[in-house]
Chains A and B, each alone.
Chain A
């Protein structure tokens, strides 16, 4: 790195402060020009300015120019959050010849302007304080050199569903050896259960068959069926893993990256809507299975109930796919009453065909006449009602809202309405009820428009339950040291900007294990995860962030407490009996530093002196 020229920490600090308006995001709630003016008065600050957008090319140029013109050896940017923008500003500093560890980020947006929108004076004071703290820290920063770590060009993918197979195939096509680990005896994951897929209407098995065949025959894919990842040790580029399972011999190997694609399960709505109480109350997935196995009973009236257990009931979230799946199945039922896909074929026997031309009962015709006539503002005619086989069937989707997002889904929704699938809205205050009246399954519901309690005899109730996280996701999370969100799905590094990365380098996530998604979305995510994983593998090395612990061997007494507390085994005793840091394994948490009984361990650029200077500056009264 050509960044040493201005990186000498022994030089007297020459600090430049760049305060961002972020359009009106900061500028609207903090008096930015006055803050920049104040920053210029702080010790060792030789240049301070404000930018409309510091992260835009203009703003970045002003940093580069500032470094050049004013010979800055420290840069402080006061703008948004380091969690998203630190790499950009660090790279800018590097491009102007300043070591990136001499950059300080001050957050005056998420932690100031956006949370104090009604107190401009106080928010402005806080912004001044935060910048004073940042400058105090900046003065004590030291340039750091990053260590290069080689990356093993191979990957392990956990989960042999659509996501895992897609990621495996992508990486294998790029030429990387891939271990695909699947705990079941068959590939295909959740999609194995499904009958046909929405939009294409093609059978699920046919759709994923080419993918299964591809990973099975690919020379770069090593399949591990009936196996799980038993242990993982190491860090990006250097993971020592053990793959094994019942009756399968353990395989120890080394990989550079890990893709998590462990999938999801459907929520079992125990105790809801007569589930398990009545035989013909099934979940959406069970319904698919019945369709697929062609073991559906003869159905005339089917009710779908949406959002069972989701959106605040048992789970907080919307499962996103169930509306479309229910609509698809509703259309299937209507279309396939004639056995087009043999949906209701039972073990080879074909049910009686329903005559194409058939007259509906007079009372229904009369009702429809009135209904249509009301639409047109005139009397309707009974003659136009031609009853095909689909008229025989009543499919009702009880929903809270229909989330048929995007282009195709909305069209499918319209198609369902054309086929007279009924959409009846309910509210969480008036949930539909499923009960038996004699031997007849019934749905009772509150009609929101009519404001009336209604009932409806049905042959089957299909409950649309959400996808839920794998019950053992927690074990995988702990083994890989990656986080789970509140609902047990894996939590990506950044919801918008890094959707398939984990915060831990070298581990990626895709598919339904990070939240409900349909096949299209899973394939998109899996392709993305594969290409993210390919970056360090193609490059062949990564630069380890210089954010590690450092042992002062004049103070270390060799007591070994640090070795006990380190969660990564990143400390060991050297031949002098003193503690030594394995830089590539150290993740910089600082536990050893806070623990060392001799105070012999500190963290690069998170030293006690830096933290205390920053805190003390925050307590100072403004001069």
Chain B
């Protein structure tokens, strides 16, 4: 027991940054692959903390972005190989969602390489160790996440999270696969690239709107002010403000002189 206490006090070497990585592994393939990796005694760094889910498709963008908000240096998603999903098509949806997550992270200026999606089958024990080793080193090189230290980074990641929760992006990313494969209600198939372009544009819009919400939480902001912080032309900011006012998400407050400012309407509290 005395031994144990000294161990808890062990100080990490300051020179080596130990990234905190959360892994979500699907029960049928990648979690089983990680099990086989253990059985086969392939060694890998201790940084990943894995959570078992039934399918990678369970992981919504909100879950990943919220974890980045909470300070994770990296997130690893593991699923079955395409066409091998235990739930038939789950990982195809995962693939689409990860694309959305990466686009949101990119828009937020947060390195999308901190998020990794890997297909690891139940028989690929060695691959699992390689993936974890590689990803850990990759995240180590990227350095610690700045969300906890830099309020602007936090606001941007929070905006990405907020955007991922909008009806528009959830509906688009949910229907993306169906639109590509079986078409819309009129049976018209939509080209993958065309659809991605539409989604990317919607993503950018929702992200910018969400960032306005984040930035105007603490204090009212003017359009000019927002445009400067966000590095977005003021006419676009104004259009976003109009949309947000229509959704009743933002309100005009304390006009100073001729410049109106806007403040986020808080609904309820954090759960």
Q: Which residues from chain A sit less than 8 Å from chain B, CB to CB? A: 31, 33-34, 37-38, 81-83, 107, 109-112, 114-119, 121-126, 129-130, 133, 478, 481, 483-486, 491, 503-504, 547, 559, 561, 564-565, 567-568, 587-591, 593-599, 603, 606, 608-609, 611-612, 614-616, 618-619, 622
Contact = CB atoms under 8 A, between A and B. Distances in A.
Contacts of A117: 41, 43
Interface string B28-66: 110110110111011110100111111101111011001
Contact of B38 (A82, A110, A121, A606): A110
Interface residues of B, number: 69
Contacts, number: 194
Contacts of A491: 122-123
Interface of B: 1, 3-5, 7-8, 10, 20, 22, 24, 27-29, 31-32, 34-35, 37-39, 41-44, 46, 49-55, 57-60, 62-63, 66-67, 70-72, 80, 83-84, 86-90, 93, 97, 121-124, 129, 165, 167-168, 170-171, 173-175, 177-178, 271
Given A603-B54, A608-B63, 13 more contacts: A33-B1, A34-B7, A115-B37, A115-B44, A123-B46, A130-B49, A503-B86, A547-B54, A589-B86, A594-B58, A606-B53, A608-B62, A615-B72
A593 B70 contact: no
Contacts of B171: 559, 561, 597
B57 A116 contact: no
Contact of A619 (B41, B67, B87): B67
A486 B175 contact: no
Given A115-B43, A618-B49, A589 B87 contact: yes
A619 B70 contact: yes
Contact of B49 (A133, A594, A595): A133
Contacts of B63: 594, 608, 611-612, 615
A118 B41 CA distance: 11
Contacts of B34: 110-111
A491 B21 CA distance: 30
A590 B90 CA distance: 9
Closest 3 CB pairs of A and B: A34-B4, A110-B38, A590-B58
Contacts of A591: 55, 57-58, 87, 89-90, 93
Given A37-B4, A123-B46, A591-B93, A597 B170 contact: yes
Contact of B46 (A116, A547, A559): A116
Contact of B8 (A603, A606, A615, A622): A622
A609 B271 contact: yes
Contacts of B42: 115
A616 B55 CA distance: 20
A601 B233 CA distance: 38
Given A115-B44, A567-B90, A597-B174, A616 B123 contact: no
A489 to B, nearest CB: 11
B29 to A, nearest CB: 8
A110 B36 CA distance: 7
Contacts of A37: 1, 4
Given A599-B165, A615-B72, A486 B59 contact: no
Contact of A483 (B1, B38, B67, B122): B122
A608 B60 contact: yes
Contacts of B62: 608
A587 B28 CA distance: 13
Contacts of B66: 612
Q: Which of B5, B62, B174 has the most CB of A within 10 A?
A: B174
Given A110-B34, A111-B50, A567-B89, A561 B70 contact: no
A561 B37 CA distance: 37
